[in-house]
Each structure stands twice: as C-alpha cells, then as structure tokens.
C-alpha cells in the first residue's frame, strides 16, 4: 500500500480528529499507525484506515492496544531529518562528539562518557559550537590527539514541538538510525548559559539495552575499523 499517499492522508485525517501519534511505512509494505486520543476519534481513524484513502487497496487492518506514548503530535515517521555522526575525540580531554544535522549545520554536543543504550544512564552532553557537514567523515590525527568516526547514520526528529524550536526550548526527542545506535533518544537541557549542559537519555524501546555499555562493547570506527588508540598508535601518540 506504499506510494499512494496513505501516510499523508492518514496524518491529515488524524489531525482533523485531534489525535496524536504517528504513521510510518514498514519494510513489508504495510503501514503502521499509532493513534492516541478520544475513543470516538480513535474509532473514526480505524474506520478511515479500513476504507483506505482513494487509490489505496487495503487488504487487512490489525488493531492492537498499546501503551500510551503521550508525547508526539501526529507525525510521519520514516522521513529523515538529516545525518548524525558521533566522533570519538582525544583532545585535552577524551570525549565523544554527538552531531545532528540541523538547518545546514551540525548541532554538536561533547559527551565526556559517550552515549549509552541503557535508558537508566543519563549522559552529560555539553553543547559546543556547530560544526560544518564537511567535517562529518573526518578521521585521523588532530592536534596531538585524534578522531575516529564512532557511529554514523540518519536521524528523525520527534516530539510535540517542531525542531529547531524544540531544542531552543531545551527538549529534543529523536530517533537514530546508526550502525551502533538505534531507536529513540532524548536530549534534555539541564543548565543554560555559555556552555549549555544537557543529558542524553536512551528512550525505552526495542533498541534499548539495559545494563549495556556500547562504548566499551563497540569501540571501533565505523569507517576504518580502527580504535582511537590504534589510530593514535599509528602516529606515535597515546590517548
């Protein structure tokens, strides 16, 4: 049922009904819809899905009750907002730089301990200057230290508030499609000022790995397969 405007017409109908939730195309050709709102409005969207929008051939509608997510406006999931990259960086201090493409630049945060897939781990993320997109695949020695591309992929923006307004307000929800990091994350600002402090938190979804330490488990560059210390060993330096 892909490619027949199903997602767009569903989003538009859901908005008319005052529902929150999301819709996305799945790889098997089905369309997955998550709807929250008044029981009557949910029944109305079910009816709409059974009939299908003009030109869609609906073969089957499966309805299941799921836990309320309660945080998203009706949105199309599956549309990339841009690229993300995480670079492991040995400078004066060792850290990981999380960068999300936003308005033609890479919005950046330095994470002293790196990211985590454990929803219980709240990782400090200090906002730093935006970087150029051209820097995303940089890997090599740098000013006595070094950089590897630890993870790379695309991301989707989520949440009730559109980006970049969401980040301006201090709370961004997003979904990563990386090689190592996948699923929902939140960035929550905890301190404003010259170097705003945020927390990066893995959301509880099927990609969460409670108790895991992805930084230790998967230390290698997704571009070259090298670890940062191997790269710096190549130059004679040590992290």
Site string for Mn ion, 96-135 (x = CB under 5 A): -x--------------------------------------
Site string for Mn ion, 32-71 (x = CB under 5 A): ----------------------------------------
Token representation of residue 223: 């571009």
CB under 5 A: which stretch of 62-70, 82-90, 197-205, 230-238 binds Mn ion? 82-90
* Nearer to Mn ion (CB atom), residue 89 or residue 226: 89
Catalytic-role residue among 13, 25, 123, 226: 25
The number of residues that bind Mn ion (CB under 5 A) is 2
Which residues, 6 or more positions from 50, have their beta carbon under 8 angstroms from its beta carbon? 58, 61
Angstrom distance (rounded) from CA 187 to CA 2: 32
Task: Determine contact, residues 112/121, Cβ cutoff 8 Å.
Answer: no
- Collapsing DSSP to helix, strand or coil, 175 comes out as strand
Q: How far is the CB of 107 from Mn ion (least distance, A)?
A: 14
CA-wise closest residue to 176 among 85, 108, 111: 85
Q: How far is the CB of 167 from Mn ion (least distance, A)?
A: 19
Angstrom distance (rounded) from CA 179 to CA 162: 26
89 part of the interface to Mn ion, by CB under 5 A: yes
117 to 28, 103, 185: CA distances (angstroms): 27, 27, 9
Task: Determine contact, residues 22/77, Cβ cutoff 8 Å.
Answer: yes
Residue nearest to Mn ion (CB): 89
Please confirm, yes or no, whether 25 is among the known catalytic residues.
yes
Report the chain's C-alpha Rg in angstroms: 20
88 part of the interface to Mn ion, by CB under 5 A: no
* Nearer to Mn ion (CB atom), residue 101 or residue 156: 101
Q: How far is the CB of 91 from Mn ion (least distance, A)?
A: 6
Q: Which residues are catalytic?
A: 7, 25
Interface ranges with Mn ion (CB under 5 A): 89, 97
């Amino acid at each position: 049922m892909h490619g027949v405007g199903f997602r767009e017409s569903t989003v538009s109908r859901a908005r008319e009904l005052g529902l929150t939730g999301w819709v996305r195309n799945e790889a098997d050709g089905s369309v997955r819809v998550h709807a929250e709102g008044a029981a009557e409005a949910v029944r109305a969207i079910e009816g709409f899905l059974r009939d299908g929008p003009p030109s869609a051939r609906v073969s089957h509608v499966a309805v299941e009750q799921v836990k309320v997510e309660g945080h998203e406006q009706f949105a199309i999931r599956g549309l990339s907002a841009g690229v993300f990259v995480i670079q492991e960086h040995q400078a004066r201090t060792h850290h990981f730089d999380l960068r999300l493409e936003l308005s033609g630049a890479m919005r950046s945060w330095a994470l002293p301990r790196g990211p985590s897939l454990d929803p219980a781990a709240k990782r400090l993320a200090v906002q730093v200057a935006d970087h150029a997109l051209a820097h995303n695949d940089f890997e090599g020695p740098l000013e006595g230290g070094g950089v590897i591309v630890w993870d790379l992929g695309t991301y989707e923006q989520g949440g009730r508030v559109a980006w970049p307004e969401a980040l301006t307000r201090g709370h961004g929800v997003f979904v990563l499609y990386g090689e190592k990091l996948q699923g929902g994350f939140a960035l929550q600002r905890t301190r404003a000022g010259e170097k705003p402090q945020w927390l990066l938190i893995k959301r509880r979804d099927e990609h969460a790995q409670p108790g895991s330490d992805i930084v230790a488990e998967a230390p290698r560059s997704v571009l070259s397969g090298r670890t940062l210390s191997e790269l710096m060993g190549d130059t004679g330096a040590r992290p």
